[in-house]
């Protein structure tokens, strides 16, 4: 099934089930008012949401209406935890190579992850609002999973059973602020502001063969100002599966229902697939030409992130955002 | 007023108003079911909660009952954002001195803060559960504030107006995991598991003269296994006020109602005041004796964190926890 949240009903929106083709939706009234509430009681709500989804896809759901992507909030407008990974090592390898550094051997066995902000996710068609153009505004197209409750010290096999939803994220990054923050030693803060999830999150069974080994096996399609930017393969060069990433986070803490775990920006060894963030593209250019030629995002720039099925249909809905200045 | 949450009614507990002397409480029925709900609509709920608080303190609140600290959940059992600072530079200076390093000049003008987990806070009398004794288990006694909605790019003066509640936190730290995680460059994750907030959070007006310049001017009293451990002055050597810390986090993002901002472990230049974390005490010992003599926490060890008023009465209730192993 596919789940989304309308921009109505309060800070957490109103939960709807979306049709497989993303043209219709129906409120989950009587099951759960919000996606967080559904995840809080997932073993009870998931079967009922699934039944509603079957009715919707069969055209028999009462109260179904045309789905307007602009009426959607983020599926989780606010969440309790978002831990983002950096699971595609070609990106890490290239960045290090560009500055003449080695990738530590441990990076191939110990996931690199960071605590990200989850307090607010931008709606999938809402602007990316940034206080200045001079901070190196970048997108990062990634895959995310959402878990229900995961016990502390869960193994990857156990963690796999707790992956309930899959989606996309535009992990907005302010590159100009990153070197200074990382030099302070405590990780990202101002350099990683609010991100945008895809319009819908889907259960792994919706993905069929494209979900195997706790990885998504489809290309991440990105466009900038209407121009093709990349189609890196999400299932290729992902060093750690989502089950491994979830288990890594759960080593010393239980995870609360609704926890979001990100893959990191999709990057392949094959640079012919393009990039999923400007920093990656600029690194490829630096290694090739000695300097980057693609600028970071400016006010007015538009980005699009989408993953489509074999027939070319959007699975999660596309993230489409424009960069805008903070209003005074 | 003083606010707390009972361990009843669901994942977010049930909001109660506590009496000034922490002996009585009353459910906030009809105003807000949870503290998060109250914060989501603070301009409407705060005056009504204040009125209930006045009734409770006057002995006229219907439904008041004896307050049992063990019946309390964390005041925010789960929250959307916790950003912790390191605002007491004597701690940073000593740690650096012990390893022969300098404190960068920027640390005196640019707050050091990190994105922490907010997905679950331990109840104030619940155990600290850790998967192993070998990870350098430490407490960190800190002050926290809770904000309502803060706009992006708020100035410190504007941020000050959004500080609605003050409390304490035991920011549990697994010291043995920190060097490895910080060496990876993306900050804390496994090394900073769930923390515990104080039993109650209080509005700044409850603190009288002890709340000035967006800082708490009282000693942070800590005990380990019943023995005095420290009474560092929270109002001394705090390089950045809470208003400055809130503004730092809000530079590139709005803050959601219920955001928790921490001070970092309380540490003074005057080591005669003791410490607020074992790492600090061990650093003092290393500088004095060449090596640390105080061990990290073991299973069964007990900690207590409290801040009292001039008459010796606990303001926030004490955090009292025992360290326990993860059950198999």
Give chain B's length.
328
> What does pLDDT average to over chain A?
97
Closest residue, chain A, to B79 (C-alpha): A80
Count Cβ atoms below 10 Å from residue B326 Cβ, excluding itself: 13
Query: Please, are residues A98 and A289 in contact by the beta-carbon 8 Å criterion?
Result: no
Which residues of A are less than 8 Å from B11 in CB distance? 40, 256
**Per the CB < 8 Å rule, is B252 touching A174?**
yes
**Rounded CA separation B48/B30 (Å):** 10
Residues in Cβ contact with B127 at an 8 Å cutoff, skipping those fewer than 6 apart: B321, B322, B323, B324
- Indicate the residue of A112, A153, A192 with minimum beta-carbon distance to B184: A112
**Per the CB < 8 Å rule, is A117 touching B253?**
yes
The number of C-alpha atoms within 13 Å of B83 and in the hemisphere containing its C-beta is: 30
The CA distance from B150 to the nearest CA of chain A, in Å, is: 12
CA angle B312, B314, B318 (to 5 degrees): 135
CA distances from B166 to A52, B133, B155, B241 (A): 44, 32, 20, 13
State pLDDT tens for residues A167-226: 999 999 999 999 999 999 999 999 999 999 999 999 999 999 999 999 999 999 999 999
Which residues of A are less than 8 Å from B102 in CB distance? none
Query: Please, are residues B219 and B233 in contact by the beta-carbon 8 Å criterion?
Result: yes
Which residues of A are less than 8 Å from B187 in CB distance? 114-115, 185-188
Which has the closest alpha carbon to B109: B238, B213, B240, B215? B240
Query: Please, are residues A153 and A250 in contact by the beta-carbon 8 Å criterion?
Result: yes
The CA distance from A20 to the nearest CA of chain B, in Å, is: 31
- Indicate the residue of B112, B119, B193 with minimum beta-carbon distance to A252: B193
Burial class of residue B115 in the structure, from the number of CB atoms within 10 Å of its CB (0-12 exposed, 13-18 middle, 19+ buried): buried
Which residues of B are less than 8 Å from A112 in CB distance? 184-186
The CA distance from A107 to the nearest CA of chain B, in Å, is: 8
**Rounded CA separation A246/A231 (Å):** 25
Which residues of B are less than 8 Å from A119 in CB distance? 80-81, 118, 253, 255-256, 259
Which has the closest alpha carbon to A263: A282, A230, A232, A240? A240
- Indicate the residue of A78, A131, A182 with minimum beta-carbon distance to B256: A78
Token pair 């960071």 is found at A114
Query: Please, are residues B172 and B181 in contact by the beta-carbon 8 Å criterion?
Result: no
**Per the CB < 8 Å rule, is B194 touching A253?**
yes
pLDDT score of B277: 96
Instruction: Give the three-state DSSP class for B210.
Output: helix
**Rounded CA separation B293/B28 (Å):** 48
State pLDDT tens for residues A108-124: 999 999 999 999 999 99
CA distances from B244 to B83, B114, B201, B241 (A): 13, 15, 20, 5
Q: Name the token pair of A314.
A: 């959007």
**Rounded CA separation A250/A147 (Å):** 11
Which residues of B are less than 8 Å from A191 in CB distance? 252
**What ipTM goes with this model?**
0.97
Partners of B297 in the beta sheet?
B137
Backbone angles phi, psi at A293, to 5 degrees: -120, -20
Which has the closest alpha carbon to A139: A270, A275, A269, A271? A275
Which has the closest alpha carbon to B266: B202, B219, B223, B228? B219
What global pTM score does this model have?
A: 0.98
The CA distance from B58 to the nearest CA of chain A, in Å, is: 35
**Rounded CA separation A70/A19 (Å):** 16
Q: Name the token pair of A50.
A: 């699934």
Residue spans of chain B under pLDDT 50? none
Give chain A's length.
328
- Chain-centroid distance, C-alpha B298: 22
A100 pLDDT above the threshold of 90: no
Strand intervals (E) in A93-180: 113-116, 128-130, 137-138, 141-147, 163-170, 173-174
**Rounded CA separation B290/B288 (Å):** 6
Domains observed in chain A: 2-71 (no CATH), 76-325 (3.90.850.10)
The CA distance from B118 to the nearest CA of chain A, in Å, is: 6
A101 pLDDT above the threshold of 90: no
CA angle B325, A41, A164 (to 5 degrees): 85
Query: Please, are residues A293 and A277 in contact by the beta-carbon 8 Å criterion?
Result: no
Mean pLDDT of A74-100: 93
Confidence class of residue A97 from pLDDT cuts 50, 70 and 90? confident
For chain A, the 3-state helix, strand and coil shares in percent, each to the nearest 5, are: 25, 30, 45
Q: What is the DSSP string of A21-40?
A: TSSEEEE-TTT-SSHHHHHH
Confidence class of residue A266 from pLDDT cuts 50, 70 and 90? very high
pLDDT-above-90 percentage for chain A: 94
Which has the closest alpha carbon to B138: A252, A116, A155? A252
**Per the CB < 8 Å rule, is B186 touching A130?**
no
Token pair 């609140």 is found at B61
Which residues of A are less than 8 Å from B120 in CB distance? 80, 253-254, 256
Which residues of B are less than 8 Å from A135 in CB distance? 252
What dihedral angle (degrees, nearest 10) is formed by the CA atoms of B153, B158, B164, B165? 70
- Indicate the residue of A112, A119, A186 with minimum beta-carbon distance to B113: A186
Residues in Cβ contact with A310 at an 8 Å cutoff, skipping those fewer than 6 apart: none
pLDDT score of B1: 98
């Amino acid at each position: 099934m596919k789940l989304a949240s309308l921009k109505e009903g309060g800070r957490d929106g109103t939960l709807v089930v979306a049709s497989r083709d993303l043209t219709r939706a129906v409120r989950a009234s009587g099951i759960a008012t919000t996606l967080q509430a559904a995840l809080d009681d997932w073993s009870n709500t998931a079967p009922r949401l699934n039944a509603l989804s079957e009715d919707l896809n069969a055209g028999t759901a009462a109260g179904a209406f045309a789905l307007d992507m602009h009426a959607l909030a983020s599926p989780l407008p606010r969440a309790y935890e978002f831990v983002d990974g950096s699971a595609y090592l070609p990106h890490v390898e290239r960045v290090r190579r560009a500055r003449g550094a080695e990738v530590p051997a441990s990076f191939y066995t110990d996931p690199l992850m960071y605590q990200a902000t989850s307090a607010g996710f931008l709606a999938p068609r809402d602007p990316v609002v940034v206080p200045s153009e001079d901070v190196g505004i970048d997108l990062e197209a990634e895959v995310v999973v959402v878990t229900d409750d995961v016990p502390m010290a869960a193994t990857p096999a156990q963690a796999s059973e707790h992956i309930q939803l899959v989606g996309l994220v535009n992990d907005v990054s302010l590159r100009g602020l990153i070197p200074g923050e990382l030099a302070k030693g405590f990780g990202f803060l101002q350099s990683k502001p609010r991100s945008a999830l895809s319009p819908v999150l889907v259960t792994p069974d919706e993905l069929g063969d494209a979900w195997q080994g706790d990885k998504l096996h489809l290309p991440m399609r990105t466009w900038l100002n209407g121009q093709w930017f990349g189609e890196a393969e999400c299932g290729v060069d992902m060093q750690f599966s989502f089950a491994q990433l979830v288990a890594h986070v759960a080593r010393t803490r239980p995870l609360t229902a609704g926890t979001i775990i990100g893959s990191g920006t999709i990057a392949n060894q094959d640079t012919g697939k393009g990039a999923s963030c400007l920093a990656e593209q600029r690194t490829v250019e630096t290694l090739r030409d000695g300097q980057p030629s693609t600028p970071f995002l400016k006010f007015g720039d538009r980005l699009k992130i989408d993953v489509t099925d074999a027939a070319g249909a959007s699975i999660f809905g596309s993230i489409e955002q424009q960069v805008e200045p903070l209003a005074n």
